[in-house]
Structure 1
Amino acid sequence: MRIAALLVFLSIACSSIPARADDVATAQGVIRAQEQAFGHDDATAAYSYAAPTIKQLFPAADIFMSMVQNGYAPVYRHRSFEFGESKIEGSSVAQRVHIIDANGEAWEALYTLEQQADGSYKITGCSLLRAGQAV
């Protein structure tokens, strides 16, 4: 009986691993899609990946795009944009991104995403620091 219970527990635990990896891949896909929209100056597409709380702060795509251009220049224009560590907690994903900006400076971005009622992930925030800078 104990062996059967252990096998059931292990099968459930192991079957959840790919779903969690899928959550990270999905979240990274959202970040990458927004990054590409910024690269094409497509404010509407970039805005579509923002969570409702972000849309409350920036109620139109052009306002959102202006904020990114002025406050998040390394996210808006860069030489490289590579995913680092990720962490899942409940329905949230935190994803680090290593960025080299247009001037060659290194940055660390921490994106947070939240799973929505429809199952999609939306970006709830992005913290940006020069690489090596203390938090």
Structure 2
Amino acid sequence: MSRIAFTIVFLLATALFSTSALAAEPTVAEKSQMKQTVRDQLAAFQRDDGDAAYGLAAPGIQRMFPSPDIFLSMVRQAYPPIYRPRSVAYGDVTDSPIGFVQKVYVAGPDGQNWVALYRFEKQPDGSWKIAGCSLIRDTEPTI
């Protein structure tokens, strides 16, 4: 490959990588929307409002749990720290290999600290829906 061709390929690859990296960072408005979506879902769980909580879940989650009642029952059983947190603190929204993730620190009903990693998917209408939540036991006194 000639030196000029190599330089052109290098510059194009650099520009493509830079554009991808910039496009991957969520805007301040998107971060705010994701945080509000988590807040709204946690508030819906507190009210036992399955319809509202379910409405904030991405289509893939809704396919896995085909009704608000089934979804709420799953959260009640599998995610007690999310269903009835004693306290909640919000961390950053970051890009990860699985997409944008909102970090949330929760103390569960038993006082145990957890880090909840909420994954998001952007919907065709521009909204962000929760596409999954992973709980990791937090051994640090975070709350």
User: Partners of 1:52 and 1:86 in 2: how far apart?
Assistant: 21
User: Partners of 1:93 and 1:33 in 2: how far apart?
Assistant: 18
User: Partners of 1:40 and 1:99 in 2: how far apart?
Assistant: 18
User: Partners of 1:95 and 1:30 in 2: how far apart?
Assistant: 10
Using the TM superposition, give the Cα deviation of residue 104 of structure 1 relative to its aligned residue in structure 2, in angstroms. Answer: 1.2
**Identical aligned residues as a percent:** 41
| 1:66 aligned residue | 73
Q: How does 1:21-36 map to 2 (within 5 A)?
A: 21-36=28-43
Gaps in structure 2 of 5+ consecutive residues = 1-22
User: Partners of 2:95 and 2:78 in 1: how far apart?
Assistant: 27
Aligned residue for 1:113, secondary structure, equals strand
TM-score (norm 2): 0.75
Q: How does 1:1-135 map to 2 (within 5 A)?
A: 20-88=27-95, 92-132=99-139
Runs ≥4 in structure 1, deviation > 6 angstroms? none
User: Partners of 1:43 and 1:71 in 2: how far apart?
Assistant: 15
Using the TM superposition, give the Cα deviation of residue 71 of structure 1 relative to its aligned residue in structure 2, in angstroms. Answer: 0.2
TM-score (norm 1): 0.80
Number of aligned positions between the proteins = 115
